[in-house]
């Protein structure tokens, strides 16, 4: 019998491999998120991070690049020298041209001795198939490997299917993590708790008790330095097809039987498949495309979209979309769902507004205010929930006035709130798929969105101008007014 006091064998390292490792996403989001996870001891102890890029760099050159570029994306209060130094020790750089099979042997050498592997494809989707094929040929894909796919996942339904087919040749569906970073936001996850962790709203969460639903994701920033990507994409593909439809799914889905990935994703899929397809007449009547013109943003003059760097003359790309959707099922029959997103809007504000039905009859005939009950769920920049109720105005007479029940979640909890990418990266490492999109969800979203984009083309629908710093074109307000509603900031 051995008497040695044997120590547990240290776990083999987990390798996190970032294709596009020196790109914008890696610098602004992934590496800062990994630093935060490291700082809070949320990375498995033996995690190695390999950034891949075409630059022929030594490791120390990459580390210098990270020192210079990534530091600025970490809040000062979270920057701890010792943690930063130990984080840098986890980093490796591998010079890989994703299109060159021999380069993957260099990668294989760097991954020697590792156990689980996560491949994060933060590259143009046109490179996905080549990367997967080269990983496969180099023997770098086993059943424990995972792959993370960054958006844009397709330009239309056919290209989304192609990406899924291509990646699906090398990875099983349960190994594929399609990121929509909105699903990693604390506030968005909290929506599930608001709906399914409380009983009070559920009986009312349906037609005819809900009159309308509004989902707004407004940004104050413009296109910035992303003209090359954005001008060929537009707000519909960049925001509605993914982030807004995912929010809609969480608002509208039936209670899943559990938090198992497929239980949740089955319910979200049902919502996407229940979206009423838009006819050409619907597209003409129920959608609004906009493009910002010169104005002001946060007190500074702001250029119009067409004057931004590298935007082609006369571009008709939309930077704003508002539309009215319908969900064809018992819960949501006849409830208009308004979606709206845009760049260079009056404020950065993401909000879901559930407007409850009008009173069937009012006994307060003399009141200047009508009864309006609204549940307003602010997702960002701050996280709070307001329930707008009617109360009696003090004084004589029976006059009503709206007042808010306020729940400020940031003061209710003192715990740190991790950024979406940090939370999602940890989910990938732990193999938790619940907050990632399944193949059929992605395709169902494209199936609904594509006829709208095609409709705009066929109708030769030019985007309507809106002043930078406003809430969008007037047609967006008119869309609501036709249903007897108004956007929350107008009411």
Please give the C-alpha separations between residue 51 and each of 47, 129, 419, in angstroms, as whole numbers: 13, 19, 21
Binding mask 215-244 for ligand BG6 (x = CB under 6 A): ----x------------------x------
Q: 13 or 234: whose CB is closer to ligand BG6?
A: 234
Residues touching ligand BG6: how many (CB under 6 A)?
2
CB of 320 to ligand BG6, least distance (A): 12
Strand 210-218 relative to strand 349-356, pairing: antiparallel
CB of 482 to ligand BG6, least distance (A): 28
CB of 238 to ligand BG6, least distance (A): 5
Q: 53 or 342: whose CB is closer to ligand BG6?
A: 342
Angle between helices 128-137 and 103-110 (to 10 degrees): 70
CB of 180 to ligand BG6, least distance (A): 8
Which residue number is nearest to ligand BG6 in terms of Cβ?
238
Q: Is 243 a catalytic residue?
A: yes
DSSP E strands, 55-173: 91-95, 117-121, 146-149
DSSP, res 30? I
DSSP letters of 269-284? HHHHHHBPPPPHHHHH
CB of 468 to ligand BG6, least distance (A): 15
Of these residues, 181, 243, 326, 384, which one is catalytic? Answer: 243
DSSP letters of 50-80? EEEESS---HHHHHHHHHHHTGGGS-GGG--
CA distance 148 to 146: 7
Q: 140 or 449: whose CB is closer to ligand BG6?
A: 449
Q: 43 or 217: whose CB is closer to ligand BG6?
A: 217
CB of 215 to ligand BG6, least distance (A): 13
Residue 291, classified by CB atoms within 10 Å of its CB into exposed (0-12), middle (13-18) or buried (19+), is: buried
Binding mask 237-276 for ligand BG6 (x = CB under 6 A): -x--------------------------------------
Q: 127 or 389: whose CB is closer to ligand BG6?
A: 127
Site for ligand BG6 in 304-363 (CB under 6 A): none
CA distance 332 to 327: 6
Rounded to a whole number, what is the distance in angstroms from the first to the last CA of the chain?
80
Element (H, E) at 121: strand 117-121
Residues interacting with ligand BG6, by CB under 6 A? Answer: 219, 238
Give the active site residues: 243
């Amino acid at each position: 019998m051995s008497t040695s006091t044997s120590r547990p064998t240290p776990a083999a390292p987990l390798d996190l491999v970032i294709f596009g490792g020196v790109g914008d996403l890696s610098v602004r989001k992934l590496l800062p998120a990994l630093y935060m996870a490291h700082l809070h001891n949320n990375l498995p102890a033996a995690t190695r991070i390999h950034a891949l890029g075409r630059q022929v760099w030594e490791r120390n050159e990459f580390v210098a690049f990270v020192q210079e570029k990534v530091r600025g994306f970490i809040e000062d209060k979270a920057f701890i020298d010792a943690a930063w130094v130990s984080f840098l020790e986890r980093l490796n750089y591998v010079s890989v041209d994703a299109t060159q099979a021999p380069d993957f042997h260099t990668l294989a050498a760097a991954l020697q001795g590792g156990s689980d592997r996560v491949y994060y494809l933060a590259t143009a989707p046109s490179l996905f198939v080549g990367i997967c094929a080269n990983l496969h040929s180099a023997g770098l894909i086993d059943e424990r490997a995972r792959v993370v796919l960054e958006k844009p996942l397709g330009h239309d339904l056919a290209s989304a299917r192609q990406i899924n087919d291509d990646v699906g040749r090398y990875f099983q569906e349960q190994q594929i993590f399609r990121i929509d970073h909105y699903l990693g936001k604390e506030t968005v996850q909290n929506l599930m708790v608001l709906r399914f962790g409380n009983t009070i709203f559920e009986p009312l969460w349906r037609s005819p008790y809900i009159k309308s639903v509004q989902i707004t994701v407004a940004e104050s920033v413009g296109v910035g330095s992303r003209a090359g990507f954005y001008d060929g994409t537009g707000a519909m593909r960049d925001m509605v097809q993914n982030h807004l439809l995912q929010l809609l799914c969480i608002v509208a889905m039936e209670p899943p039987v559990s938090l198992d990935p497929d239980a949740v994703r089955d319910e979200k899929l049902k919502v996407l498949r229940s979206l009423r397809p838009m006819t050409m007449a619907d597209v003409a009547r129920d959608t609004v495309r906009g493009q910002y013109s010169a104005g002001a943003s946060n007190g500074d003059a702001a250029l119009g979209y067409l004057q931004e760097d590298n935007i082609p003359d006369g571009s008709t790309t939309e930077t704003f979309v508002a539309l009215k959707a319908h969900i064809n099922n018992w819960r949501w029959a006849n409830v208009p769902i308004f979606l709206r997103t845009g760049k260079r809007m009056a404020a950065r504000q993401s909000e879901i507004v559930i407007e409850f039905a009008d009173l069937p009859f009012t006994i307060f005939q003399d009141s200047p205010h009508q009864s309006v009950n609204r549940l307003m769920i602010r997702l960002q920049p701050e996280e709070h929930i307001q329930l707008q109720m009617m109360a009696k105005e003090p004084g004589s007479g029976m006059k009503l006035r709206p007042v808010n029940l306020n729940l400020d979640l940031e003061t209710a909890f003192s715990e740190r709130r991790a950024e979406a990418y940090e939370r999602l990266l940890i989910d990938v490492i732990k193999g938790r798929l619940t907050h990632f999109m399944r193949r059929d969800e992605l395709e169902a979203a494209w199936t609904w969105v594509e006829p709208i984009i095609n409709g705009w083309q066929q109708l030769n629908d030019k985007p309507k101008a809106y002043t930078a710093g406003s809430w969008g074109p007037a047609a967006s307000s008119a869309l609501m007014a036709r249903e007897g509603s108004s956007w929350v900031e107008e009411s």
